[in-house]
């Protein structure tokens, strides 16, 4: 089992998928629980934008929506 206090592990990992099922299965496929992660929030379609400086946000992925699932280190929320 991975050390949940490993400072080299990112606190949060977000995965994007075009369809719900691959996003939902990623937690199990990558065995994220054994790596010290839990799912955070809901898996819902989202639109992504990027803001640089004080300018207007620009669409990422040509405005296409993706399902997003975020995994958070358990030690980061305890």
User: Does residue 2 surpass a pLDDT of 50?
Assistant: no
Check if the beta carbon of residue 67 is closer than 8 Å to that of residue 17: yes
Q: What is the pLDDT of residues 14-24, one digit of tens each?
A: 999 999 999 99
Q: What is the pLDDT of residues 23-34, one digit of tens each?
A: 999 999 999 999
Tell me phi and psi for residue 37, to 5 degrees. -115, 160
Residue 7 covered by a domain: no
Q: Domain count of the chain?
A: 1
Paired tokens of 29: 């496929």
Question: How many Å apart are CA 13 and CA 70, to the nearest integer?
Answer: 6
Dihedral sign (CA 3, 8, 9, 12): positive
Residue 50 covered by a domain: yes
User: Does residue 36 surpass a pLDDT of 70?
Assistant: yes
Residue 3 covered by a domain: no
Residue 48 covered by a domain: yes
Residue 62 covered by a domain: yes
Residue 67 covered by a domain: yes
Question: How many Å apart are CA 17 and CA 42, to the nearest integer?
Answer: 14
Query: Which pTM was predicted?
Result: 0.74
Mean pLDDT of 49-58: 95
User: Does residue 12 surpass a pLDDT of 60?
Assistant: yes
Residue 16 covered by a domain: yes
* Domain span including residue 64: 12-73
């Amino acid at each position: 089992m991975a050390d949940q206090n490993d400072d080299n592990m990112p606190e949060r990992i977000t995965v994007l998928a075009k369809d719900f099922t691959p996003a939902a299965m990623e937690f199990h496929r990558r065995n994220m629980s054994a790596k010290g992660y839990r799912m955070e929030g809901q898996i819902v379609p989202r639109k992504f934008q990027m803001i640089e400086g004080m300018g207007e946000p620009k669409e990422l992925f040509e405005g296409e929506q993706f399902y997003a699932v975020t995994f958070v280190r358990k030690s980061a929320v305890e």
